[in-house]
């Protein structure tokens, strides 16, 4: 009843693979890739990060006169991702609402596998193809970070890890992560509050002055988590704030980070008192680095032309999130992100249309065929 890609997708989502537990899905993909004639490798990325499987990398030899193509997707899912039971209702694949579906990113994997399988099965001459299925993307792009990118010969990459089929994301932002510790002075809140400095108050005043939300069309800033304090009768002496900022423009990102610090400076300045001084510690690190690919780059044109051949409107734009593509682009392999049809991701309402899976597999197949001409 089900088409090849739907059948394969349903098989994949029934294999548990929350981040760090990709073993079973990695084994299946290795076997299936080898059965298609690829040379298959697994690295030891998990030894660095924990988990029970490494990244799966495969090479289909193909015609050496053609430029190799890279297809990638990630094997891990977010939680709750164990015991997924896919349900199909009127052409929509979803779950019973107790787990995610795992279309992020098993839709991408299924479309890549089936697209390649169709080309291989047709016996047609094709360009060399490289396939990278990573681990632990959802918990910090860990697999892609560890993967030895010098193994890649491709100059054009396609990460299938986004929403509607037709989307071609040609850029993604840089992101900076913050951990800020605001310190005040502890005191009894009822007996001697005048001897304390309320770190929560200082943190609040700082946050109120920080850049927040959408800063401009390519930049955002968000303080996402705050913790600290012990009891209502104690003036809190330490508050920890976790936040992030993103921008497609690294100079703008640096400016936003500067403004966050400035807000902290100003707030702390107000609490330099004779009985104690507020202070803060600022820890920040670049989480991932932006990329931007020209609209007329061969990778973009290949995706665009394949979509047009399939009668799907290409939607070429920049994305707002970080993914494995940031890491692969940073390694010098221009890699666009293609929509694979996933919807409501990272929720138990996650779903995908059967028709989107079919379009995604057609896209992979058409790109390989067009590029191999």
Kindly list the residues in this chain that would bind Zn ion in the complex (CB under 5 A). Answer: 104-105, 161
* Between 104 and 362, CB nearer to Zn ion: 104
Are 207 and 169 spatial neighbours (Cβ–Cβ below 8 Å)? no
* Between 104 and 130, CB nearer to Zn ion: 104
* Between 199 and 336, CB nearer to Zn ion: 336
Least Cβ distance, residue 107 to Zn ion (angstroms): 9
Least Cβ distance, residue 105 to Zn ion (angstroms): 4
Least Cβ distance, residue 155 to Zn ion (angstroms): 24
Least Cβ distance, residue 122 to Zn ion (angstroms): 29
Q: Would you please indicate which residues are annotated as catalytic (active-site) residues?
A: 76, 137
* Between 104 and 350, CB nearer to Zn ion: 104
Least Cβ distance, residue 77 to Zn ion (angstroms): 8
* Between 42 and 104, CB nearer to Zn ion: 104
């Amino acid at each position: 009843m089900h088409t090849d890609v739907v059948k394969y997708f349903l098989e994949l989502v029934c294999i548990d693979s929350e981040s760090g537990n990709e073993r079973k899905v990695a084994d299946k993909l290795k076997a299936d890739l080898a059965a298609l004639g690829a040379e298959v490798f697994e690295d030891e990325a998990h030894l660095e990060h924990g988990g029970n499987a490494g990244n799966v990398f495969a090479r289909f030899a193909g015609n050496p006169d053609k430029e190799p193509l890279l297809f990638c997707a990630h094997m891990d899912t977010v939680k709750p991702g164990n015991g997924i039971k896919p349900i199909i209702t009127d052409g929509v694949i979803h779950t019973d609402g107790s787990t995610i579906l795992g279309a992020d990113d098993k839709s991408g994997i299924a479309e890549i596998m089936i697209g390649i399988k169709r080309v291989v099965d047709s016996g047609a001459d094709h360009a060399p193809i490289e396939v990278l299925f990573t681990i632990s993307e959802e918990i910090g792009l860990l697999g892609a970070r560890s993967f030895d990118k010098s193994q890649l010969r491709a100059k054009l990459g396609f990460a299938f890890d986004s929403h509607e089929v037709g989307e071609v994301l040609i850029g993604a932002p840089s992101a900076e992560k913050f951990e800020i510790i605001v310190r005040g002075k502890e005191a009894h809140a009822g007996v001697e509050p005048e001897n304390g400095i309320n770190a929560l108050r200082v943190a609040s005043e700082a946050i109120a002055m920080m850049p927040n939300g959408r800063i401009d069309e390519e930049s955002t800033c968000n303080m996402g988590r705050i913790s600290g304090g012990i009891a209502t009768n104690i003036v809190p002496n330490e508050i920890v704030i976790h936040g992030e900022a993103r921008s497609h423009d690294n100079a703008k990102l640096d400016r936003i980070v500067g403004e966050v610090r400035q807000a902290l400076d100003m707030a702390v300045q107000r609490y330099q008192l004779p009985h104690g001084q507020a202070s803060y510690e600022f820890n920040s690190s670049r989480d991932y680095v932006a990329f931007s690919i020209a609209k007329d780059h061969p990778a973009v044109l290949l995706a665009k032309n394949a979509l047009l051949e399939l009668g799907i409107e290409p939607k070429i734009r920049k994305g707002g999130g970080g993914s494995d593509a940031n890491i692969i682009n940073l390694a010098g392999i221009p890699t666009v992100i293609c929509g694979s049809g996933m919807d409501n991701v990272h929720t138990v309402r996650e779903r995908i249309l059967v028709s989107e899976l079919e379009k995604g597999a057609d896209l992979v197949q058409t790109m390989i065929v067009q590029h191999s001409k």
